A = this chain, B = another copy of it.
Amino acid sequence: MTDERKSNVFHLGPHTLHIPAEVHQINRQRLVQSLRNDTSIPPGSVVLLMGGKSKNMYDTDIEPLFRQESYFHWTFGVRESNFYGAIDITTGKSYLFAPKLDESYAIWMGKLYTTDDFRNRYEVDEVHYTEQLLDVLLGLGAKVLHTLVGVNTDSNLPTYEATFSGIDRFQVDGTKLHRHIAEQRVTKTPQELEIIRYTNRVSSEAHIEVMRSIRPGMTEYQLESVFRHYCYYNGGARLMSYNCICGSGPNGAILHYGHAAAPNDKTIQDGDMCLFDMGCEYYCYASDITCSYPSNGKFTPEQRFIYNAVLKANRAVMAASKPGVSWRDLHVLAESIELEQLRDYGLLQGDVDEMVRARLGFIFMPHGMGHLLGIDVHDVGGYLDHCPERSNEMGLNKLRTCRQLKEGMVLTIEPGIYFVDAQLKRAKDDPNLSRFFIWEKIDQFRQFGGVRIEDNIYITADGVELLTKVPRSVEEIEKVMAEGRKRTVTFPQQGLA
């Protein structure tokens, strides 16, 4: 098996997706092509990226499982920490630099890889030890090192820029690489799409397993555990793309529920609407799927109505998605449909277009209707310099991109309707919003929580490929849940066995 681990194909057993190192060769070729088309880049230019470093938990000797930095993964696919990588733009040749480990590491980490082993594993042109980084770059005749300098517009944090002792021997240019590499990451290659199809397949099946396993009386996190186990045991997905959100009842209206201080720890009540937002990661590629359904497997009329309003928005956005369409417009489309439904059901009154202009959609859906997805769950490239700017308008300012759709993009479509106390108070206090509300009807939904229906799509030449395969209609969900309820499911309530 040691040999298998050294092969140039990543997988986690025969039943999991096999991924050749070629994925990253193609990514590097795309990047080099893009840089060569940029006439402002002088001869003697070399891309220099720094891989993620392993970090201890505080002062302890615990090292949380290493996860590669996303740009470095996209470019090189290296699974080990503390690497550097370089690409000579002129020749297109790629170089990796591995930390030289003391022989004693073999006791702790297993047989040490040689530079030849790494070259085979990652299919780059040359591998050296990091201590040779300066000499190799000088030997290449590198004059300008292009480093990764930019801002992640989802976090407002600076990107992870390479630095090393001796870098001052070169001209360092941080003004160009970021926009090229981020733009390349925005559209996925067929090889990358295959990985996201896989994460979607595994996560979709895991969501179905959760639908079958849920019973009132369980604690929310028991479903998180079912999901994670399914993804790992069956799909080799050791990590999730983000912390699992398992909100039942009112918790469905807390967008980032499941964090350390609210750790999916409520007992699920009979009749609770559940909102489960969970997606696994495989080979550092994400999935991001939300399913919403009643804990007992049967929708009440109110649940069915809210659910179908969201589903209608989801399906309308999906039908309208194709190259050239503005994501901002699709957000507004989702809002309009939801508001119209809420009005027709008697929760709101007035003209839907007026509601949209008053930004009423933000009260019920205080997040963007969807986002780019890739190696990061909120993937990069949403607001690059050549793209439409972030809106200042309430709600629209939450969108992680306002771009026009482009073939090769992968995005989430995730409209939702939530009854959030703080949002409803905001609406009540604002006469321009309050006038649309029929409060005695709204008040009946105060404990409802929320519904989100989140799918992952790939933009094709003329539409979308739906990557997420879960039951979506009320009838389909009730059928799967009814099947699940024929199973005997045990879960501890009164102490362990």
Contacts and interface: CB of A to CB of B under 8 A. Distances in A.
Interface of A: 1-2, 4-5, 12-15, 52, 56-70, 79-81, 103-104, 106-111, 151-152, 154-155, 157-160, 201-202, 205, 219, 221-222, 224-226, 228-229, 232-236, 238, 242-243, 249-251, 254-257, 259-263, 265-267, 366, 376-378, 420-423, 491-497
Nearest to A235: B496
Nearest to A57: B67
B110 A243 contact: no
Contacts of A62: 242, 376-378
The 6 closest A-B pairs by CB, nearest first: A229-B229, A13-B219, A61-B155, A15-B492, A225-B232, A66-B260
A157 B60 CA distance: 7
Contacts of A266: 1, 4
Contacts of A265: 1, 5, 12-13, 236
Given A157-B59, A421-B111, A65 B259 contact: yes
A155 B15 contact: no
A15 B259 contact: no
A362 to B, nearest CB: 10
A107 B60 contact: no
* Copies of this chain per assembly: 2
A139 to B, nearest CB: 28
22 contacts: A1-B266, A1-B267, A5-B262, A12-B265, A15-B492, A15-B495, A15-B496, A58-B157, A58-B160, A59-B152, A59-B158, A63-B259, A64-B64, A64-B243, A80-B261, A103-B422, A108-B256, A221-B236, A224-B232, A225-B229, A228-B228, A228-B232
Contacts of A5: 262, 265
B14 A494 contact: yes
Contacts of A219: 12-13, 15, 236
Nearest to A60: B376
B491 A233 contact: yes
A360 to B, nearest CB: 16
B226 A222 contact: no
A66 B259 contact: yes
Contacts of A110: 251, 254, 257, 262
Contacts of A14: 267, 493-494
A106 B251 CA distance: 12
Given A65-B259, A202-B496, A221-B232, 18 more contacts: A12-B263, A59-B151, A59-B157, A59-B158, A61-B157, A62-B377, A65-B243, A66-B260, A103-B422, A104-B422, A106-B420, A107-B423, A109-B254, A110-B251, A110-B262, A205-B497, A228-B229, A233-B492
A155 B60 contact: yes
Contacts of A160: 58-59
A151 to B, nearest CB: 8
A451 to B, nearest CB: 16
Nearest to A495: B15
Nearest to A11: B265
A239 B219 CA distance: 17
Contacts of A158: 59
A328 B152 CA distance: 51
A181 B158 CA distance: 37
A229 to B, nearest CB: 4
A254 B108 contact: yes
B60 A52 contact: no
A115 to B, nearest CB: 15
Contacts of A263: 12, 238
Contacts of A242: 62
A61 B103 contact: no
Nearest to A12: B265
